[in-house]
Amino acid sequence: MVTIRLHNSRTRVKEEFVPIDPGNVRVYVCGPTVYDRAHLGNARPVVVFDTLFRLLRHVYGAGHVTYVRNFTDVDDKINATALARKEAGAAGSLEDLIAERTEETIRWYHDDMDALGALRPTHEPRATAYVGQMIAMIGALIEGGHAYAKEGHVLFRVRSFAEYGRLSGRSVDDMIAGARVEVAPFKEDPMDFVLWKPSDDSLPGWESPWGRGRPGWHIECSAMSLALLGASFDIHGGGIDLQFPHHENEVAQSCCAHPEAEFARVWMHNEMLQVEGKKMSKSLGNFFTVRDLLEKGVPGEVIRFVFLGTHYGRPMDWTAEKAAGASSKLDDFVRLVAQFGNLEKAKDLQPDDVIVAALADDLNTHAALVALENLANTARYDDLARNLDFLGILSFAQLEQRIEVRDSAMQLLKPYAANLAAMREAAMATKDFAPVDAMKAGLLAAGVEVRMSKAGVELLPGPGFDAAKLEGLV
């Protein structure tokens, strides 16, 4: 059995991973709040934890891993978006518009993350389907003295949980000292956070013992992980920006509601994404979504390949140069597999030991990519294909499709190659290479790679191959 070691941000140490139940390894990752298209930063945890999912499935068996990633579909930003639509004259009730918005966003999210080669998690619960469980958990917290109701709100009593701040390495007193938040009058303590808040008639709401209202942020993840994974599970993941307050609050809620359990054993946090060396933000104008990239012609596998090039625990810088490099590297891989590989044989292979070992070492994806390259350099093309699939970069289906496209382009280019060979033959005798060069220029403009050697002429479809531009070439 492969030994997996993971950096646990709770203990700040790389530890050997020992599942609670090897027959059912349980992972929870914070998913998106579905109010808009996923931006590129949202994609990083998806790729990181998809890679973890693939590793765990390989090591423990595909049927022995439960991966939960939620959709937070109750949120004031969603309400605001829906309200803006309504004010802009959209038909339907606010509730309809909210439902429409979340449905649409979830569909987009699936489309975009599918394009990145991310497997669908085992469960993708929606917060609105677990409001009952949230209310139950909040009730238990009040009963246990960890929460209190006031003015229609229910607040978590941070001082009731001695461990509060441990996950993120903060002390409650320090945070209060440096706090910049305005303290609501109904809070016993400035750090107390909202579990439930009242909704007026214009907002979505659920009946509760504290009146009609809606859950605060944080409680949905505690309720859904409990419902789907139990009070103790193996790994909890998300972006480092969620470590505080979101994850800290989750720990507080879950551990106080279930003091007998340990909640998440291992916490994994991915570092942030930057763009050309800067934080991605709307104000800097370098903000873009996954869809923007896909539409610009940067395919999902290129995005994934670039992501895997940097360890998840490090800030990742997205640059156009990296994307271009990844693209040409992947083209090389596809060419090698197409020319020398056999996909049917590849499908019977196991993932490469070196690559599995790299992933098992706290998801050292960069080392895995180096190993991938080594497979290419040592002529192990079937292994190359197998591991491209394993890593989720290019699935067998995608490889097949790209090889097909390549093959048909090669067919198309055959007569041109013959033609060019003849012209070159003639030019060798006359020493007039002008027509050959003209033809070559035309082919290059159509994105064709032109290779001429003693052995003959070879034409290959390059990255920007455009069959339409062949028109008019002899």
Partner RNA sequence: GGCGGGUUGGCGGAGAGGUUACGCAGCGGAUUGCAAAUCCGUGAAGACCGGUUCGAUUCCGGUACCCGCCUCCA
Annotated binding site for Zn(2+): 30, 221, 246, 250
Q: How far is Cα 55 from Cα 269, in angstroms, rounded to an integer?
A: 17
Contacting RNA (CB under 7 A), which of 66, 253, 364, 387? 364
> How many residues in the shown chain lie near RNA by CB under 7 A?
74
Nearer to RNA, 19 or 239 (CB): 239
User: Which of residues 19 and 216 has its CB atom nearest to RNA in the complex?
Assistant: 216
Question: Which residue, 203, 178, 179, is CA-closest to 193?
Answer: 179
Enumerate residues 125-164 that contact RNA by CB under 7 A: none
Instruction: Identify which of residues 66 and 310 has a Cβ nearer to RNA in the complex.
Output: 310
Dihedral sign of CA atoms 177, 178, 182, 183 in order: negative
**Phi, psi (degrees; rounded to nearest 5) at 297:** 95, 10
Could you tell me which stretch among 88-96, 117-125, 304-312, 383-391 binds RNA (CB under 7 A)? 304-312
Contacts of 9 (CB under 8 A, 6+ apart): 167, 240, 243, 267, 268, 269
Cβ 332 to RNA, closest distance in Å? Answer: 6
Asked if residues 340 and 379 have their Cβ atoms less than 8 Å apart, the reply is yes
Binding of residue 422 to RNA (CB under 7 A): no
Please report whether residue 37 would count as binding RNA according to CB under 7 A: no
Among 102, 243, 253, 387, binds RNA (CB under 7 A): 243
- Per-residue tokens: 28: 């929870």
The reply to whether 45 sits near RNA by the rule CB under 7 A is yes
Q: Does the footprint of RNA cover residue 44 (CB under 7 A)?
A: yes
- Stretch of 62-70, 290-298, 361-369, 392-400 contacting RNA, by CB under 7 A: 361-369
Which range in 98-106, 110-118, 288-296, 421-429 contacts RNA by CB under 7 A? 421-429
Cβ contact 142:151 at 8 Å: no
Segment interacting with RNA, rule: CB under 7 A, options 116-124, 254-262, 289-297, 427-435: 427-435
Tokens of 473: 């070439």
- CA distances from residue 465 to 31, 68, 256 in whole angstroms, order as listed: 38, 41, 60
Task: Please give the sequence-ordered ranges of beta strands (E in DSSP) within 190-296, or none if there are none.
Answer: 193-198, 213-215, 232-239, 263-270, 273-275, 278-279
Interaction of residue 170 with RNA, rule CB under 7 A = yes
Quote the least distance from Cβ 344 to RNA, whole Å: 26
Question: Residue 318 belongs to what H/E stretch?
Answer: strand 316-318
* Binding of RNA by 332 (CB under 7 A): yes
Tell me whether residue 104 or residue 143 sits nearer to RNA (CB atom): 104
Query: Considering the rule CB under 7 A, would residue 76 count as an interface residue with RNA?
Result: yes
- Residue 288 lies near RNA (rule: CB under 7 A): no
- Which of 2, 13, 18, 181 contacts RNA by CB under 7 A? 181
- Give phi and psi for 168, each to the nearest 5: -95, 5
Closest CB to RNA among residues 60, 290: 290
Q: Rounded to whole angstroms, how far apart are CA atoms 216 and 87?
A: 25
Q: Which residues are annotated as a binding site for ATP?
A: 282
Q: Smallest distance, Å, CB 116 to RNA?
A: 14
**β pairing state of 213-215 and 5-8:** unpaired
Q: Choose, by CB under 7 A, the member of 238, 300, 392, 442 that binds RNA.
A: 238
Question: Which listed residue (366, 395, 405, 447) binds RNA by CB under 7 A?
Answer: 366
Contact with RNA (CB under 7 A): which of 117, 216, 351, 442?
A: 216
Exactly one of 195, 450, 459, 470 binds RNA (CB under 7 A); that residue is 450
- DSSP assignment of 127-149 equals GGGGHHHHHHHHHHHHHTTSEEE
Sequence-distant (≥ 6) Cβ neighbours of residue 438 within 8 angstroms:
none
> Can you tell me the distance from the alpha carbon of 474 to that of 464, in angstroms, rounded to the nearest whole number?
20
442 in contact with RNA (CB under 7 A): no
Q: Check residue 394 for interaction with RNA (CB under 7 A).
A: no
